[in-house]
Amino acid sequence: MFAEFKPRYITFIAMFTAMEVVLSRFLSVNAWNLKIGFNFVPIALAAMLMGPLWAGLVAALGDFVGAILFPIGAYFPGFTATAFLTGVVLGLFLYKKQSFVRILLAVLINQLILGLLINSLWISILYGSPYMPLLYTRLIQCSILIPVQFAGIVLIWKIVLPQIKKVIG
């Protein structure tokens, strides 16, 4: 995992982190309890190319750097921890072994457990909102993001990843 360090990973981590910040902070729809965007793309690429811990690092750095440089609300470390776990889950399912089933499982775990259950808990703690009503409103986000992320990651796997592998060898 981290033992598989390659010098080019430093470049990948910087590039994917910057992409995550831009996609998350500038090219997504944000409300205090909903976030719909494509910041999963660089994390999925990191997961496929480098593995779970590196993808987790990209996701956590992207969340932290974005929150510090371009805050949307108060910084809360729980979101950074969830971001790290999101990258780890993608890496566990997608590193060197992509398939439609593995992509679907990764997306479902990330959206239903980490996104819906855990991030809703963080929002509830941060803003003092009741957990269950918040959970119901965030179901909308999940119902949108599950098919979007699944389709996006399949496109990355089938189209983008082979092109990147040709370039980097």
**Domains of the chain, first to last:** 2-168 (1.10.1760.20)
DSSP 106: H
Q: What is the pLDDT of residues 2-55, one digit of tens each?
A: 557 788 889 999 999 999 999 999 988 877 667 788 999 999 999 999 999 999
> Long-range contacts for 69-78 (Cβ within 8 Å, ≥24 apart)?
69/21, 69/25, 70/21, 70/25, 70/26, 72/25, 72/30, 73/32, 73/126, 74/126, 76/122, 76/125, 76/126, 78/118, 78/121, 78/122, 78/125, 78/126
Instruction: Give the global pTM.
Output: 0.92
Q: State residue 2's pLDDT score.
A: 56
Both structure tokens of 58: 């990209």
